[in-house]
Amino acid sequence: MLKETWDARIRRAEQLAPQSEPARELLAFYAQLLRAQKEIYEQLRSREGWLPSGALEADLAVARALMPALLGVVESSGPPALAEESRALAQAGESEIDEMLLAQWREPSDVQFFAKAFLQPYARWLAESGGHPLDREVGDGGERRCPFCGGSPQLSFLQTREPGAESGNRDLLCATCLTTWPYRRVICANCGEERPEKLGFFHTPAYDHIRVEACDTCRHYIKGIDLTRFGLAIPLVDEVAAAPLDVWAREHGYTKIELNLVGL
């Protein structure tokens, strides 16, 4: 199982930013965003006498009060369009915020930045605290969807679970709650295509431990981080750092299964 702390993610983003010219600004912003998410997570985790119920509507009174931590960071360090939206949300009423969060929780969208970014730490603490989603349609997405919340995969990664193993095991990481689960190596994470001639793997020496995993049946792709090649990588952050691979994939007609928080 992949175990990452918010601090580890923040350190990795800060480490990679000055080294990654194409993604420098994205990583600098992502580091600040991770700090805001950590604050939301810690506030929820340390609240005495309270645990998330899994029914977001019932938890909104507690969760909503933490939204300013996210809005302030985005307003001060985010790109202009997001900063403007952040200022508007700061003036919004509670019902508007609630509607936005509930809509994302019940019918997730990878283009709803604020709701997705805010709900990640909530959903992560829900998973860690032993709760279960109650007012979210988890559905039966099979092995291609998160077994905890039904979310789409944000990325895949390879790691060696047993010493001496000849090759790594493949896992997926949920875009909603950051849960990981095992997944077969040679199979599309979007449509389940298994024919090798329909699956392509593309990478460049500039990102030697990261590759595009593309499917010519559904024309979707996901990025894979190979921890057997570079064990110090933090998949959620390294995936953002490899932004040029997303540009390549789009130019070749592939659609990403789930956009990340910086919109790639």
pLDDT tens readout for residues 34-62: 999 999 999 999 999 999 999 999 999 99
To the nearest whole percent, how much of the chain has pLDDT over 90? 91
Give the pLDDT score at 62: 96
Give the pLDDT score at 138: 73
Domains (range + CATH), the chain? 6-128 (no CATH), 142-256 (3.90.1670.10)
Q: For residue range 85-114, what is the model confidence (pLDDT) as tens digits?
A: 999 999 999 999 999 999 999 999 999 999
Q: For residue range 175-184, what is the model confidence (pLDDT) as tens digits?
A: 999 999 999 9
- Distance CA(231)–CA(225), nearest Å, equals 10
Per-residue pLDDT averaged across 10-27, rounded?
A: 95
Q: For residue range 183-216, what is the model confidence (pLDDT) as tens digits?
A: 999 999 999 999 999 999 999 999 999 999 999 9
Question: Is 2's pLDDT higher than 90?
Answer: no
Question: Is 165's pLDDT higher than 60?
Answer: no
Per-residue pLDDT averaged across 146-156, rounded?
A: 96
Per-residue pLDDT averaged across 78-84, rounded?
A: 95
pLDDT band of residue 12 (cuts 50, 70, 90) is very high
Give the pLDDT score at 1: 61
pLDDT band of residue 167 (cuts 50, 70, 90) is low
Q: What is the DSSP string of the chain?
A: -----HHHHHHHHHHHGGG-GGGHHHHHHHHHHHHHHHHHHHHHHH-TT----S-HHHHHHHHGGGHHHHHHHHHHHS-HHHHHHHHHHHTS-HHHHHHHHHHHHHS--TT-HHHHHHHHHHHHHHHHTT---SSS-----GGGS-TTT-PPEEEEEEE--STT-SSPEEEEEETTT--EEE--SSS-TTT----GGGEEEE--GGGTTEEEEEETTT-EEEEEEETTT-TT--HHHHHHHTHHHHHHHHHTT-EESS--TT--
Give the pLDDT score at 220: 98
pLDDT band of residue 262 (cuts 50, 70, 90) is very high
Give the pLDDT score at 168: 81
Mean pLDDT, the chain, rounded, equals 94
